[in-house]
Structure 1
Amino acid sequence: MSFWGYLVDQRQHLLTDAFQHVSAVVQCMAIATLLGVAIAVLTFRSDWAGNLAIASTATVLTIPSLALIGLLIPVVGLGVPPTVITLVLYGLLPVVRNAIVGLRGVDPALVDAAKGIGMSRTARMLRVELALAWPPVLTGIRVATQMLMGIAAIAAYASGPGLGNEIFRGIASLGSANAINQVLAGTLGIVVLALLLDALLALVGRLTIPRGIRV
């Protein structure tokens, strides 16, 4: 069967896997963003605390994703739990690092001016510091999202959702008629979805970042 014929024949199954893949990445990226920004807000004012936060989240990237998933399986089982934990942990570093850099780069005079007009500490953080740090934070989100799109494929090893299942099925059946088609469908699907998600995040940046502070 040709590759195009395989796509047509398996379109419903591929669309389901693609939806699950994107859904897993987006949801885990949302959790990683909330956690990462919270960690940055708590640590950016202290050099040692900020550096410790960056170093701690960077340590996760030294662990091969397949090994991390394998270590999690005896603890949380197969399926969604090891997938979510792995993706969230891997998504933290770009967000934490960029959020800390962005928050440290805010002009103190602007923060003092906001304080001078009576804004509370929470309001200053939300409306001044995080608002000005949003461009680098969004860059971190974009980098992490692209990374997680690939790592999510490894989750199929733990019976996780997504297009990785298509790749693993193809590898497991190498020599069969559709093995190459399965690997290609899963791989190209992930690439296309990653490009679409990045384009969507770029659009979010255009809509949410004022022209004057775009990088």
Structure 2
Amino acid sequence: MTDSYLHVSAVVQSILIATLIAVCVGILVHRSPLGSSAATATASIILTIPSFALLGLLIPVLGLGVPPTIVALVLYALLPILRNTIVGLSSVDPATTDAARGVGMNRLRVLTRIELPLAWPAILAGMRISTQMIMGILAIAAYAKGPGLGNLIFAGLSRVGSPNAVPRALTGTVLIILLALLLDAILVLIGRLTTPRGVRD
């Protein structure tokens, strides 16, 4: 039970941090094709680094445990959220923003009241993809003594040949799948509750 809670907690924290970073970067670069390409390419390169290698690079700097785990998960979660933020903001009809400015809204109000709400479904879709992705990646963090169900899987795999080895590893794997489905359902519900009806329909 503790491992399940720690697994979900690490994923949720990482997704929130990654979303904050990705949305801020997306806001800064979405109007610039060069900036958008550079930001997306950088996030893509990070995603190609094998998780064992990334954790190995982070351990000498951050030590073992939670810090390298969270940093690695945040880095892996960035690309889908960043890409969807750029796509969502770029898809807002210029006529809509022009009309908002015409009634006296400044740039910040247009962003927070028009552009981000319209881009929110795309951003949330990126969050869902990243959540599913890092749910599995977190299992590898047991290598760095990170939290979560990876410790249960590694404990089972390290005792292959004993009666409880395979059931323990399978339990950890099944729990990760179930928790991933649960988090996805929660994100879908959040989307239903927070997306304006006109945008959702």
Q: TM-score range by the shorter chain?
A: over 0.9
Matched, 1:178 2:178: no
The C-alpha deviation readout for 1:100-155, integer Å capped at 9, x for no partner, is 00000000010011101111111100110011000100000000000010011111
Q: Which amino acid aligns with 2:8?
A: V
Which of these residues, 13, 16, 20, is aligned with residue 27 of structure 1?
A: 13
**Match in the other structure for 2:89:** 103
Structure 2, unpaired ranges of 5+: none
Q: Which amino acid aligns with 1:213?
A: V
**Match in the other structure for 2:58:** 72
Matched, 1:132 2:152: no
Q: CA deviation at 1:214?
A: 2.3
Taking structure 1 as the reference length, the TM-score comes to 0.92
Structure 1, unpaired ranges of 5+: 1-14
**Match in the other structure for 1:89:** 75
**Match in the other structure for 1:144:** 130
Q: CA deviation at 1:179?
A: 0.4
Taking structure 2 as the reference length, the TM-score comes to 0.98
Which of these residues, 119, 138, 149, is aligned with residue 105 of structure 2?
A: 119
Q: CA deviation at 1:210?
A: 2.3
Secondary structure, counterpart of 2:48 in structure 1? coil
The C-alpha deviation readout for 1:2-37, integer Å capped at 9, x for no partner, is xxxxxxxxxxxxx10000000000001000000000
Q: Which amino acid aligns with 1:143?
A: I
**Contact 2:62/2:68 (<8 A) preserved:** yes
Secondary structure, counterpart of 1:193 in structure 2? helix
In structure 2, C-alpha distance between the alignment counterparts of 1:174 and 1:68, rounded to whole Å? 27
In structure 2, C-alpha distance between the alignment counterparts of 1:193 and 1:92, rounded to whole Å? 21
Matched, 1:164 2:150: yes
Secondary structure, counterpart of 2:42 in structure 1? helix
Instruction: Return structure 1 stretches of 4+ with deviation > 2 angstroms.
Output: none
Secondary structure, counterpart of 2:49 in structure 1? coil
In structure 2, C-alpha distance between the alignment counterparts of 1:20 and 1:56, rounded to whole Å? 29
Percent sequence identity is 59
In structure 2, C-alpha distance between the alignment counterparts of 1:211 and 1:180, rounded to whole Å? 48
Q: How many residues align?
A: 201
**Contact 2:117/2:196 (<8 A) preserved:** no
Q: Which amino acid aligns with 1:153?
A: A
Q: CA deviation at 1:59?
A: 0.5
CA RMSD of aligned residues (A): 0.8
The C-alpha deviation readout for 1:55-108, integer Å capped at 9, x for no partner, is 100111110111111111111110011101100000000010000000000000
